[in-house]
Structure 1
Amino acid sequence: MINFLKLFKNKTKIVTLCAAFISVGFSSSAQDKSLTLDQIAKQHHIPAIQLNYQKNGKNHLYQYGKKKLDSNSPIDQNTVFQAASLTKVVATYTFLRLMDKGLIELDKPLWSYYQYDRLANNPNRDKITARMVLTHRTGFLNWEGDVPSDAWRKSPLTSQFEPGTDYMYSGEGFYFLQETMEHITGKSFQQLVEEEVLIPMKMKNSAIVWKDELETNAAYGHYEDNKPRKLGKYRKSNAAYTLYTTAEDYSNFISKYIFDGFGLKKKTHQLALSRLAEAKKGKEISPDDKYVPCALGMRIQINELGTAYWHTGSNPGFRCFFLAYPKSKEILVAFTNTDNGFVAIPDILALFLNNNQTFWMYKWRQGELD
């Protein structure tokens, strides 16, 4: 049963959602969960939610709402959403595959593989390693300029601190790693992701760049006031944010990667899941930081139930997250198509997971990473 006092912060929400639970005779059934998820979406004015709760490899798929609010086209389990920064976990796995092949090392400066032109005048250019990229310790800002414009690609990268000495969430680091992987393999990042991830993991409804065939069943993003955005079509891949996928596809990827170590050497899989660096909520260290340290390319949640792994995603018009528990073999993946999507995270977590725990993945910064 959901702990209402923990889940809700004000009387209005309690009255509204308690009424919803009573009206459906709330229980653990899939039908009741579906009805409750619908109510959560309506309560938070979210145009659509696509969700998968996976337990011991079995998928429980849910979907509510429309691809575009001013249309009559409902989403289904195959509707493609922007995965935003959940892309970084796919990029990390791609890197690990190349590392296992002996093509790149975790702690060798990336500059020794590839002289990235945006670092030509940066005095720290030969200090940055893949480990620093994957734990957000490069010293780069999240983005410098208007991504993905030509002006952005030509802009110099600056260091906010000496690489490896502090934490700062950075998409720029992932893009540097992407171009390094492309250089050493002679393949595009799209080809690498398809060969190392999408094809072997049978992610048939996923793509790392926009493909026109996605348009027939793609979700539109929305502003906070629910005004639809233009359909986002990323024609150039970016390791930080351009994955298009479904909750089912992404859950299966997380299961194979985190739970099974699919395609990885045993020591590589263990390393990927290790606590390798600390995160910071702001400029100063917070007592909460210790509950969300960095693994490679994702975060760890440490709470009353032990260790889980998570990441959130935030693209214009989209908010999403995954949370995975290796011990209980549980995965929760949710995609929303609105800038306001993160407000529903506590309700969604409480509906599907054991609510007698602290969900640091939300409490730490209300879902935001950058």
Structure 2
Amino acid sequence: MKNKIINCLSKFVCLVMATMIFDHSVNAQLKPISSDEYVSELDKKVSAWLDEFIVPGAALALIDNGKIILQKGYGYADIKNKVTVNGKTGFNIGSISKTVAAWGVLKLVEEGKIELDSPAENYLTRWHLPESEYDVNKVTVRRLLSHTAGLSLHGYPGWSPSDTLPTIEQSLSGKNNGPGDVRMIMEPGTKWKYSGGGYTILQLIIEEVTGQKFADYMQAEILNPLGMTNSSYTIDDKILSASSLEHNGYGEVIPFELFTAEAAAGLHTTIEDFVLFAMASLNVPNGLVADQSILEQSTIKLMTSPAPAANGRYGLGYGIDSIQNSQAVLVGHGGANTGWHAYLRVNQQTGDGFAMITNGGSGHNVYRQAYCDWVNWKLGVSLGNRCIKTITPLLINAIRREGIDAAIARYKKMKETKSEDYFFSEGALNNFGYELLRSNKVKEAIEIFKLNVEEYPESGNVYDSLGEAYMVDGNNELAIKNYEKSISLDPENTNGVEMLKKLKNQ
């Protein structure tokens, strides 16, 4: 089944997706060193990680005891023209857009224009949730913010610059490039289930309540007052002129993506601006933010505290990460869109923070290494298996040097001899296969999907993906065979059912 990199928290959540695969090289506890010494060491590591994971560029900021100790760009925004990343280079930050959008909602709550526990329907006239077996009045603003409203639609793929973007209402009704409409699929208030669609409802609520475009409201009421004047939910000429290019897992330039679902996925920012938001999220007076009165400290505390039914992992727009073997609780979010990866975590108890943005399909590997290293330095603890490297970049380099057969042989050898040092998973292979497919390397994609079938023969998803690759290659007979196998293993695979009908009717 097609696994696009979409703004979302992935199967374990984008907010924690960011911490699933880290590096053993940072597992050993570091000796106590000063911030200057640490920044000097980290500088060298970041450049090495960019090379290792085939990511052209990144920008990183660190906060230590309420002060910014690092704010720097690494690598390239545009390799061909030798444009390096600097403090004003723009990056999309994926689902961290939700965290910033939550500030916009909570500002309206403070002003008495929205009530957290009122039904979302009270504020909607332009679109309404479809009828279902569940009570629509239980879909409250608080539950939308905390992903406990029982809604569908995990995340969004983007649109290309040549596409005509749908309206918010059209997107909510299913015209959104793939993921379907937003509807109630479980009892609201009973379970945490990530829904980017819920944040598109919040985007619409902001427009309904204020009478303004979402992006205009956010610029005037949140971004500009925070000093984030080079950030925007509107991708205009100013934003594009300062933006990095975006790249796939091969480090190749890919088309720029646009989003109707701005609140869920559309914020573009720079590291200079991003660190200002990190400082504001610390919820302590610091003197660096242009306007400290945007939200009350009590409101930020509410946003960064566990919400009901969120299993302690999520507040109102913020993910909550309790670090094992320590007393630390870090709050923030992760973000991923095709070609972009970003990560934010702050420790409100100590005034420390980590913010990183990257411009490559494997950028999550870079910030995971950096974050794991930083946690080790700040807290003196290892994140253990959360620090294991992904195997995918090794496969990419092996394909480049020796071809697909050698790459697969390398994978099998590494799994046999280095299983504790690298992260091997069905999802990683599946995503890599789609990277190849998107790069028109169809034959190589087929071989990777075949490897995934060999490794995970009881998964319906791997056969679905192989079926799609065969379909792209024009081999309908094998496409049908694999889709049929996928459906036999996973009868609820609606994508496979639809593709099978399409193939058999040709």
Q: TM tier, shorter chain?
A: 0.7 to 0.9
Cα pair 2:94 2:340 within 8 Å, conserved: yes
Please report how far the alpha carbon of residue 154 of structure 1 lies from its aligned counterpart in structure 2 after TM superposition: 3.5
Deviations 1:312-367 (A, max 9, x none): 00111111101101122111100111121112234202443426335499679x9x
TM-score by length of structure 2 reads 0.61
Residue 311 of structure 1: aligned partner: 333
The answer on 1:87 being equivalent to 2:97 is yes
Cα pair 2:129 2:184 within 8 Å, conserved: no
Please report how far the alpha carbon of residue 258 of structure 1 lies from its aligned counterpart in structure 2 after TM superposition: 3.4
Residue 353 of structure 2: aligned partner: 331
The answer on 1:39 being equivalent to 2:48 is yes
TM-score by length of structure 1 reads 0.81
Deviations 1:32-88 (A, max 9, x none): 432221112112221111111122232411221111344421111110000111111
| Aligned partner (choices 306, 316, 321) of residue 301 of structure 1 | 321
**1:146-225 → structure 2 map (5 Å cutoff):** 149-150=165-166, 152-155=171-174, 156-225=181-250
Residue 53 of structure 1: aligned partner: 62
Please report how far the alpha carbon of residue 269 of structure 1 lies from its aligned counterpart in structure 2 after TM superposition: 2.9
Cα pair 2:306 2:314 within 8 Å, conserved: yes
The answer on 1:109 being equivalent to 2:114 is no
CA distance in 2 between counterparts of 1:347 and 1:278 reads 31
- Range with bigger deviation, 97-106 or 259-268: 259-268
**1:65-144 → structure 2 map (5 Å cutoff):** 65-115=75-125, 117-123=127-133, 124-143=135-154
Cα pair 1:122 1:157 within 8 Å, conserved: no
Distance verdict in 2 for CA 1:231–1:97, change over 3 Å: same
Q: Report the structure, 1 or 2, having the larger helix content.
A: 2
Please report how far the alpha carbon of residue 277 of structure 1 lies from its aligned counterpart in structure 2 after TM superposition: 3.8
CA distance in 2 between counterparts of 1:318 and 1:262 reads 31
Matched residue SS, 2:247: coil
Matched residue SS, 1:117: coil
**1:227-266 → structure 2 map (5 Å cutoff):** 227-234=252-259, 236=260, 238-260=262-284, 262-266=293-297
Q: Aligned AA for 1:329? A: G
| Largest Rg, 1 or 2 | 2
| Aligned partner (choices 256, 267, 272) of residue 303 of structure 2 | 272
Residue 286 of structure 1: aligned partner: none
CA distance in 2 between counterparts of 1:268 and 1:180 reads 19
Residue 74 of structure 2: aligned partner: 64
CA distance in 2 between counterparts of 1:350 and 1:144 reads 26
Please report how far the alpha carbon of residue 170 of structure 1 lies from its aligned counterpart in structure 2 after TM superposition: 0.7
Q: Identity of paired residues, percent?
A: 21
Cα pair 1:256 1:262 within 8 Å, conserved: no
Please report how far the alpha carbon of residue 118 of structure 1 lies from its aligned counterpart in structure 2 after TM superposition: 4.7
Distance verdict in 2 for CA 1:207–1:88, change over 3 Å: same
Distance verdict in 2 for CA 1:86–1:359, change over 3 Å: farther
CA distance in 2 between counterparts of 1:120 and 1:347 reads 43
Cα pair 1:273 1:296 within 8 Å, conserved: yes
CA distance in 2 between counterparts of 1:162 and 1:57 reads 44
Q: Aligned AA for 2:296? A: K
Deviations 1:108-159 (A, max 9, x none): 0010121452514345432211111111112222358866653634334322
Give the root-mean-square deviation of aligned CA atoms. Answer: 3.0
Residue 3 of structure 1: aligned partner: none
Q: Aligned AA for 2:57? A: A
Please report how far the alpha carbon of residue 166 of structure 1 lies from its aligned counterpart in structure 2 after TM superposition: 1.3
